[in-house]
Amino acid sequence: MKQPTKTYHKLLTDKKKRAEFFLTYDRLIARARDAGHYDAMIAHASSKKELMEHFALFD
């Protein structure tokens, strides 16, 4: 079984993996927006902001 590359620990310690993770998150938010799912877009944007603030505590 292939191990996940973006585990919580990796996101805390590897800024490159973290950047990839948030790029994927940005794509998800954009797709929700483009499809007209504004509630989902807002929820994901809020979650992203919360995660970014959390990870910043460990920088």
Kindly state the DSSP code that residue 5 receives in the 8-state scheme. Answer: S
Which pTM does this prediction carry?
A: 0.82
**Residue 14 to residue 59: CA distance in whole angstroms:** 10
- Smallest CA-to-CA distance from 21 within 7, 40, 38, 35 is with 7
> Can you give the residue ranges of every domain in the chain?
13-56
pLDDT digits (tens, 9 = 90+) for 11-48: 988 999 999 999 999 999 999 999 999 999 999 999 99
Amino acid (one-letter) located at 29: I
